[in-house]
Amino acid sequence: MHQMSNSSSITKFLLLPFADTRELQLLHFALFLGIYLAALLGNGLILTAVACDHHLHTPMYFFLLNLALLDLGCISTTVPKAMANSLWDTRAISYLACVSQVFLFSFLISAEYFILTIMAYDRYIAICKPLHYGTLLSSRACAQMAAAAWGSGALYALLHTANSFSLPLCRGNTLDQFFCEIPQILKISCSHSYLRSFWVLVVGVWLAFGCFVFILFSYVQIFRVVLRMPSEQGQHKAFSTCLPHLFVVSLFISTCFFAYLKPPSISSPFLNLVMAVLYSVMPPTLNPLIYSMRNKELKWAIRKVTSWMFLNSDKFPLFFQN
Which 8-state DSSP code applies to residue 3?
-
pLDDT at 254 over 90: no
User: Which CATH number does the domain housing residue 34 bear?
Assistant: 1.20.1070.10
Average pLDDT in the 140-167 region? 93
Confidence band, pLDDT 50/70/90 cuts, at residue 62: very high
Encode pLDDT of 97-131 as tens digits: 999 999 999 999 999 999 999 999 999 999 999 99
Among candidates 305, 244, 287, which has minimal Cα distance to 112? 287
The verdict on residue 319 lying in a domain is no
Residue 13, SS3 per DSSP: strand
Ranges 29-43, 154-168, 227-241: which has the least confidence: 227-241
Average pLDDT in the 168-186 region? 84
The verdict on residue 321 lying in a domain is no
User: In the chain, pLDDT over 90 holds for what percent of residues?
Assistant: 40
166 vs 105: which has the higher pLDDT? 105
Domain count, the chain: 1
The burial class, CB within 10 Å (0-12 / 13-18 / 19+), for 121 is middle
The verdict on residue 82 lying in a domain is yes
Ranges 24-38, 44-58, 304-318: which has the least confidence: 304-318
Q: Are 24 and 270 in contact (CB under 8 A)?
A: no
Q: What integer best gives the mean pLDDT of the chain?
A: 84
For 133-169, b where at least 16 C-beta lie within 10 A, e where not — what string? Answer: beebbeeeebeebbeebbebbbebbeebbebbbebeb
How large is the angle between the packed helices 95-128 and 232-261, nearest 10 degrees? Answer: 150
Question: Which range in 22-36, 177-191, 198-212, 220-234 is most confidently predicted, on average pLDDT?
Answer: 22-36
Q: Is 172 left (phi over 0), alpha (psi -120 to 50) or beta?
A: left
Confidence band, pLDDT 50/70/90 cuts, at residue 247: confident
- Domain range spanning residue 78? 10-311
Residue 60, Cα to own-chain centre: how many angstroms?
Answer: 17
**In this structure, how many other beta carbons lie within 10 angstroms of the beta carbon of residue 17?**
17
* C-alpha to C-alpha distances, 186 to 7, 17, 153, 169, 196, nearest whole angstrom: 12, 20, 20, 8, 11
Among candidates 188, 186, 184, which has minimal Cα distance to 164? 186
The per-residue pLDDT for 256 is 76
Average pLDDT in the 35-64 region? 92
Encode pLDDT of 295-305 as tens digits: 778 888 888 88
The verdict on residue 2 lying in a domain is no
191 vs 33: which has the higher pLDDT? 33
In 88-175, alpha helices (H): 95-128, 133-136, 139-166
The per-residue pLDDT for 265 is 66
Average pLDDT in the 180-202 region? 74
Q: Where are the beta strands (DSSP E) in the chain?
A: 12-14, 92-94
Q: Are 19 and 181 in contact (CB under 8 A)?
A: no
Confidence band, pLDDT 50/70/90 cuts, at residue 29: very high
Ranges 107-116, 127-136, 163-172: which has the least confidence: 163-172
The verdict on residue 179 lying in a domain is yes
The per-residue pLDDT for 214 is 95
The verdict on residue 3 lying in a domain is no
23 vs 149: which has the higher pLDDT? 149
The verdict on residue 151 lying in a domain is yes
For 303-315, b where at least 16 C-beta lie within 10 A, e where not — what string? Answer: ebbeeeeeeeeee
pLDDT at 4 over 50: no
pLDDT at 38 over 70: yes
Among candidates 78, 92, 105, 76, which has minimal Cα distance to 17? 92
The per-residue pLDDT for 197 is 61
The per-residue pLDDT for 229 is 81
The verdict on residue 112 lying in a domain is yes
Ranges 44-48, 56-60, 78-82, 264-268: which has the least confidence: 264-268
